[in-house]
Every structure is written in C-alpha cells, then in structure tokens.
Amino acid sequence: MSQRLVIDPVTRIEGHAKITIQLNDAGEVDDAHFHVTQLRGFEKFCEGRPFHEMPSLMARICGICPVSHLIASGKACDKLLAVHIPPTAKNLRRILNLAQITQSHALSFFYLSAPDLLLGMDADPAQRNVFGVAQIQPTLARGGVRLRQMGQQIIEILGGKRIHPAWVVPGGVSEPLTAEKRDAILAMLPEGIAITQQTLKWFRGVLDQYADEIGVFARYRTLFMGLINDAKQLEMYDGHLRIMGAEGHVLADDLLPDQYEQYIGEAVESHSFLKSPYYKPLGYPNGVYRVGPLARLNIVERCGTPLADEELEYFRTLDSQSSFHYHYARLIEILFCLERIKELLHTPDILSERVRAHAQPNSTVGIGVAEAPRGTLIHHYQTDEAGLITRVNLIIATGHNNLAMDRGVLEVAKRYVHGAQLNEGMLNRVEAIIRAFDPCLSCSTHAVGQMPLQLQLINRDGQVIDEMMR
Amino acid sequence: MILVIGYGNLLRADDGIGCVAAQWLEQRHGDWQVQISHQLVPEMVTGLAKADQVIFIDAREGGQAGTVICEPLEPQDGGGAFTHHVSPAGLLSAAQELYGATPQGWIISVVGAVFDYCERLSPALSTKLPALLDEIEGVIHSHILVRE
C-alpha cells in the first residue's frame, strides 16, 4: 500500500509550508511536492487604494524584505507619474536595496543555513542552531549577527527605521542624505567586507564535505533569469532581464522589464498557493527557471566590483546547476553589495538635495522591476484616471523559483528517502533544499480567487476517493 | 551600562506600553542606553553584550490593567534568540554564548487592557500614564539598580 510522508511545518524558512512525499508500493519515492499553505491576498485588497499608498502597503507584505517591495513599488509608481527620478534619488534607492540584500542574505546564510553547513545535517536538532554554531565557530556566529545588524543599520540610517521604512516615495525618496549619515555608513563597510571575506574563506574550505548534497540538491537543468546592466554586470536595481539556458548560453537578452508579460507566464498548481511562473517561449512546465543569487551570478559576465569579481572567478569553477551553491552565491553578493554601497556613497552628487520628482499621475499603468534578495521582483499596477488602483499583479522571487523548488524536493527525496522510516538527517536534507532557495512565503502568497481550498484523498492509482472543498 | 529595551506594537493599543515607557525613560536618563522596537530582534544581542544590566519593558495580558510586574531573567538556551520568537531570556543566552557576556536581566511587564487595532493606549492605561511611568521608574530604582 502506498504511503505519504508529510513534513509539516518546514522549519527555518520565512513563512509556513509543508512537503509531501508520495511513496509507491516498494516504499520508494514516487512523487514529492512543496506546498505553500498560507494565503495573503495583497493583490486583491489593494484594489481601490490611491496609487501613492502602494509603497507603504506593499512593504507590509513582508517583515524580512519590506525594502525590496518598497523599491519595486516605488519604481512602478514612478511609471504612473511618468517621471525620471533624480539621479541621486536613484542611487540612494540603490544603496537601500543593497543594504536590504546584505541583511537578508546574512539572515539566510548565518542564522538559517549555517547550522546545517557547520554542524552537519545529521547533527542533533537540538544543537543545530546558531548557539551550536557559536560553540564551534563563535567568530562565524558573531560575524553573522554583525553583518545582519549592519544591513539593518544602513536601512535605518537611510529610511528612519529598520522595518517598513517610508523613505521611498513615488518620484524618488523623501529626504536627502546628510554627510553625517554618509560617513556613518562608510565607517561600517570595512568590517562587513572583512567578515564576508573570512566567511567565504571558511566556506570554501568545507565545500568538499558536501559533495553528495551538491550533486543532488536541485541539480537539474533549468533556465536562469535576472537583471543585468549595460556592461553585463550584476544589477540589483535597474537594467534589462537576461534569460540564460542550462548550457550557459544566452537565450534571451535585453528584455524590457515592462514587457514581462510577453515572456513570463503564470501557471497555478493545485497543491500550492504559490504561483508557478515560467518562460513562455518554452511553455509550461518546460520553461522552468531559477532566480536569485545563483541565477544572478550565472547570468552575469562580471559582478562589477573588485573583490566580488575575485570571488566570482572561484565560483565559476563550481557546479553552476546545483542549488546548493545558492549559499556561496549569497556570500559573494554580500561582498558585492558592501563594495557597491561604498562606490555609490562616493559619487559626487550623493548629498544632493534634489531627490524627488513631483508630478500628478500621467499614466494608468506602472511596472516596477528590481532584484530582491531572493530574485527578480515584479510589481505591476493599473489605475483609473483618478489614480485609484484597479489591478495589481505581483511576481515575487520565491514564486519564480516555485517550479524549481518543487523539482528540487523530488530530486532530494529520491536520493535520501527510502522506505517509510523517517530520520532527522533525511528530513532535514529535504527541508534544506528548500532553505537553499531561501523562500519567503510571506511575500509570495498573495493571489486570491485562483485556487479553492481543497482537500483530496488520493489512492496509489491517483483516484480521488474523498474530497472536501469550500 | 544600563540598557533599557522597550518593545511592543504601537498599532495594538496597550501592547505599545513598553515603547512609551522606554521613550519616557530615555528623556529622563541620558546616561542609559535605550532601544525602542516593534519586536525583539537577534541583533540586539550586541547591545546586551556591552551592558551590565538590561531591562526589558513589555506589555502582558491577564490581571488588573496597569499592574507593573518586575521579574529577574535567566538565560534560556534553545535558539530562542534566532527564530521568529525572540525572547528576552533567549537574548541573554545568546549574549553569553556569542560574547561571554552575562548582564543581569530583568523584565518589567505592564498589564494591558486592550490589544486590538488602535494607535493609542486604552483609557485604562492612558488615564494613569504619569503615575504608571513613575511606578516603572521607581521599580527600576528600588528593585534593580539597588542590586548593582
């Protein structure tokens, strides 16, 4: 008789999810799925609101990456105003976004994944936390705390508060940067860069211990997508979208973010509230792609900052298809972010007081695209002539990765799950593949009306033998 | 160094009393380090590591509204500083584990009456706020600082 193993809830991710693994008669994995079981509804309840409220409303999607939503929403609102925001405002937004990526990556690597990486996935779960890390590698644990704090402090310096800052507004930012604040941020950066370099050195030294996981962790061929600048370097705020094939060839380049609907489709699966975006020309589900740190480093030719580019050289020797290397990519991106913040703070006009373009709404469609910590973030608003929101479509980084995570779960389950006996190490490996993507489910579950609440009892032949719906 | 951390949700009526109290103490005690936060976060551990005494001020449910309760805290292991449910005791433990720091910890809880959506304290607390703040300050002086 077939059996189903359920891991519920998945721990150490942002939000709530469960994984189900379907076993066949022989006790081997037949199928597996990653389920997102929460519903938010942001796309629906924003309808009717004045467009200028959107940045603040969108920031409330998440307590981890509110800044990413602020940035994408601010950009979408700029389009509704049909203005070019002042260059200083753009650079200040860039710094805010880079600080956000720094703190979020630090959270993911040091707090959520380092316990597995340092202590081993078969370690006692009671020890597999940051305290366990602190006992063996106190420097690593302290570094993680400091890096996250640094990202949060930069956000607070710029935006007034760590979580849900209201500094990004349609047309730019609400206040210019002062010399005092600039210097405070600059003073932090050398420490952050040093911590990141030390961590990269340590992580590089232990990668060999994870050869098995590297070979299995969602190691399959997919496309990769992300923003890229004119120099084909890492771009977190602006630029064009590039889609790269599994063999490393550029499949589509210089795609206009505003035209995302032409090349990104959105499917809905019955087992999850998470949408399943795909690359339209390849259809569904063949158009599965990955976004986020691994994808971004795979699609660029250079990072564009000296230290990150040095690390990228080594990264190029790693298996670019293994989702395990999201972890390594995350560290390189922290390095890039800190270097780039320094560069931006030294631009001549960074203290300019021209930081906001004022206008009335001049368009009824606004699309804002930026790179969030977990990947490409798309905000698409439509308004009526009075500027009231009539439609919202959000494609969140975690959503882009939905199909890849689903396949990752299956690959890992096939490798590590044998028979009906569960053990912690195996369970954690299944969960760890999800954590490698660093999914933020709070952000990604906002569709409403697309999937009824459905409970099905399915036998091994796939027949629904009982069903509840509402 | 004395560190005061007032935390709570200012959009949830009396849940924000810890923030209100901490803000008031900050104005009166320039030599104290005061942090005001929506919630406890892991990064607060760096502040704890530098403190001799850390005083958390929070709201609690149950009992007579406006009652002030002061309790000593002991470090509590188990990752409680690094999850969505960061606790004062977890932060004390993290300070010890990460930095070898052992500040004395206290939590002052104020019993609230209303925790619904509201940007103001309930009448049960707001009408006696001056006396309540004096009481909190008095508790710090009589129960906590006297043990220095």
Put simply, the answer to whether B82 touches A142 (Cβ < 8 Å) is no
H-helix or E-strand containing A158? helix A138-159
Q: What is the pLDDT of residue A449?
A: 29
CA gap B102, B99 in Å, rounded: 9
- Contact criterion met (CB below 8 Å) for A372 and A356: no
Q: What is the pLDDT of residue A387?
A: 94
Range A175-184 contact pairs with CB under 8 angstroms and sequence separation of 24 or more: A175/A355, A176/A88, A176/A92, A176/A351, A176/A352, A176/A353, A176/A354, A176/A355, A177/A88, A177/A92, A177/A350, A177/A351, A178/A351, A179/A351, A181/A157, A182/A345, A182/A350, A182/A351, A184/A157
pTM over 0.80: yes
Q: What is the number of CB-based contacts under 8 A between chain A and chain B?
A: 42
Segment B94-142, tens digit of pLDDT: 899 889 999 999 999 999 999 999 999 999 999 999 999 999 999 999 8
Put simply, the answer to whether B46 touches A145 (Cβ < 8 Å) is yes
Strands A289-290 and A275-279 turn out to be unpaired
Put simply, the answer to whether B41 touches A111 (Cβ < 8 Å) is no
Put simply, the answer to whether A162 touches B41 (Cβ < 8 Å) is yes
Q: What is the pLDDT of residue A421?
A: 62
**Which amino acid is residue A232, in one-letter code?**
K
Q: What is the pLDDT of residue A13?
A: 47
Q: Which residues of B touch A149 (CB under 8 A)?
A: 43, 46
Q: Which residues of B touch A126 (CB under 8 A)?
A: 78
CA gap A99, B72 in Å, rounded: 36
Confidence bin at B80 (pLDDT 50/70/90): low
Give the distance from residue A247's alpha carbon to the nearest chain B alpha carbon, in angstroms. Answer: 39
- Contact criterion met (CB below 8 Å) for A122 and A424: yes
Q: What is the pLDDT of residue A121?
A: 77
- Mean pLDDT in each 10-residue stretch from start to end of chain A (470 residues)? 58 58 75 72 89 90 83 97 97 97 93 84 73 84 94 92 80 96 98 98 92 81 95 96 93 94 89 84 92 97 97 95 94 98 97 96 96 95 96 89 83 74 67 78 40 34 39
| Chain A CA closest to residue B45 | A145
Sign of CA dihedral A61, A103, B83, A421: positive
| Chain A CA closest to residue B78 | A126
| Chain A CA closest to residue B100 | A138
Q: Which of A111, A126, A135 sits opposite B42 (nearest CB)?
A: A111
For the cut 60, the answer to whether the pLDDT of residue B78 exceeds it is no
